[in-house]
Structure 1
Amino acid sequence: MTAGPTYDAIVLAGGRATRLGGTPKPGVLVGDRTLLDRALTACAGAGRTVVVGPADEVRPVPAGVVVTCEDPPRGGPVAGVAAGLAALSRPGSPDRPGRVLVLAVDVPGAADAVDPLLAAAARHPDADGVHLVRHGRAQWLTGLYRADALAAAAAGLVVHGAPVRRLVAGLTLVEVDDATGASDDVDTWEDVTRLSARHADRPEEAHP
């Protein structure tokens, strides 16, 4: 008998994208696929996936993917995490797995991060979470966390506008070196060009 999924997923897709001139990031094409499509591919092994962002910017999504938004919108990544966790724990929802994959929508290589994160979590079962580190910089929004620890941390904050550093400050985390740039993100149109070239050289992953 095959074990079921061991984690859920939250895709944070509600940023302002000011350096892209306000173009909503979920619909930005990197190669021939949108950032949201790439993020959802990375979440293909999750039990449930929640996309947090304005509905008009993230729909349509595949069947089974939940769309929600922080209140008020554009509250930042911590507010997005809190909204995603709330969507996963609504009355009537099945019990959620013990861990939740947290991904920013603007990381087109996130699919390459999932297996290393799962492996690190298996090696460190007592940690509150694992996340990538790129050139010495913590990439907390490419990480896998204990859902209860993340929810408790968010409950202790005014989440709107809170920095991610405060959310994770009290957690026991394990760093996973990102030597290949799986966590490289899209902030500018130059990033779109650079990362499109990188991903165009690789076979496309299956769509979710």
Structure 2
Amino acid sequence: MTTQETPEGSGTEEYDAVVLAGGAARRLGGVDKPGVRIGGRALLDRVLAACAGAAVTVVVADPRTTARPVVWAREEPPGAGPVAALDAGLRRSTAARVVVLSADLPFLEEGTVRRLLDGLRTSGAEGALLTDAEGRDQPLVAAYRSAALRRELARLSGEHTGLDGLPLRRLVARLGLTRISDPVASFDCDTWDDIATARSRIREHGHVLDEWISAVKDELGIDLDVDTDVLLDLARDAAHGVARPAAPLTTFLVGYAAARTQGGPEAVAEAARKAADLALRWADKDTVEAEPDAG
């Protein structure tokens, strides 16, 4: 695949993503960590949603079902460690910039990925990475210049006769890095306590609705960015102006109407506007008819 690099300074340059998802998860007893569900979604799918803007997303692991299509790669031999895995993923990438992520980041969002890419672009550094709550570097939540990674991979391979078992810090030690502090997005799930913490936070009132909507879209295979506030306002108007059961039925009909026109978010918004206007007229009609006869 040939990629075209957008000029520096545009803020919208193309990038690829490499997600490392083949670790042994020893502190979790060898469980399939990328498949562990947080808020109804697999950890891997949560990370893939955060890097959905990538031109190519390479997942270094054995193939599995994912919420969106990816390119699969595997380090040789399997289990050779993160440096070997990153090398395998980078071989399937052609973009000048690559976002490198682990598959166990429950709170990673697209906005974080954009911040990393913006930091890489504006700083002129070879890499932009997050730091955690203790200020420690997180090289698997980072954006890098691909040429710099390839240079260091070649150096390490020559010095050690291969990449098997090398720690990631040796790869990034000679890179010019800029750092972004984000204790939330850098939170990873290494232990069952970490997973319990992530699940608890996602159930908090301020997060649960967005998490639920994202989980439903993943489960149903829907890639549609709609204004949920519009739908919630519609449900409120239908419940108050007509009857409580009208809320879910009305929002269902709005979605069905938009689907029949093969429309996107705009079609949903237009159908919701029409239904909301009808709900308000319905309520006004009931109010008028309920008024006593002035005569």
What's the TM-score once normalised by structure 1's chain length?
Answer: 0.87
**1:109 counterpart residue number:** 107
- Which range is displaced more, 143-152 or 113-122? 113-122
Looking at secondary structure, tell me which structure has more helix per residue: 2
Q: Deviations over 1:55-114 (max 9, x none)?
A: 3xxx113564101110100111111110001122xxxxxxx2210000000111222521
Question: Is 2:130–2:142's contact at 8 Å kept on the other side of the alignment?
Answer: yes
Answering whether residue 91 of structure 2 is matched by residue 86 of structure 1, we say yes
Q: Deviations over 1:109-149 (max 9, x none)?
A: 2225212212212321x210100011210011000000111
Residue identity in the other structure for 1:193: A
Output aligned runs, 1:87-166, within 5 Å: 87-88=92-93, 96-111=94-109, 112-124=111-123, 126-134=124-132, 135-157=134-156, 158-166=162-170
Question: Is 1:102–1:144's contact at 8 Å kept on the other side of the alignment?
Answer: yes
State the superposition RMSD in angstroms.
Answer: 1.8
Pick the aligned partner of 2:181 from 177, 201, 204. 177
Q: Which structure 2 residue ranges, 5 or more long, are not aligned?
A: 1-5, 7-11, 157-161, 224-295
Residue identity in the other structure for 2:92: A
Distance 1:127 1:44 in 2: 24
**1:93 counterpart residue number:** none
Q: Which structure 1 residue ranges, 5 or more long, are not aligned?
A: 89-95
**2:273 counterpart residue number:** none
Q: Taking every aligned residue pair, what percent have the same amino acid on both sides?
A: 45
**1:33 counterpart residue number:** 41
Q: Deviations over 1:43-62 (max 9, x none)?
A: 1011100000123xxx1135
Q: Cα distance 1:171–1:24, how it changes in 2: closer, same or farther (>3 A)? A: same
What's the TM-score once normalised by structure 2's chain length?
Answer: 0.62
Distance 2:147 2:131 in 1: 23
Question: Is 1:113–1:183's contact at 8 Å kept on the other side of the alignment?
Answer: no
Question: Is 1:11–1:50's contact at 8 Å kept on the other side of the alignment?
Answer: yes
The count of corresponding residues between Structure 1 and Structure 2 is: 194
Q: Which has the higher contact order (CA 8 A, sep 6+)?
A: 1
| SS of equivalent to 2:186 | coil
Distance 1:87 1:118 in 2: 20
| SS of equivalent to 1:151 | helix
Distance 2:32 2:192 in 1: 12
Question: Is 2:45–2:67's contact at 8 Å kept on the other side of the alignment?
Answer: no
Task: Please list every run of at least 4 consecutive aligned residues from structure 1 whose deviation after the TM superposition is greater than 6 angstroms.
Answer: none
Question: Is 2:60–2:75's contact at 8 Å kept on the other side of the alignment?
Answer: yes
Distance 2:78 2:203 in 1: 33
Question: Is 1:5–1:45's contact at 8 Å kept on the other side of the alignment?
Answer: no
Residue identity in the other structure for 2:148: A
Distance 1:146 1:68 in 2: 20
Residue identity in the other structure for 1:189: W
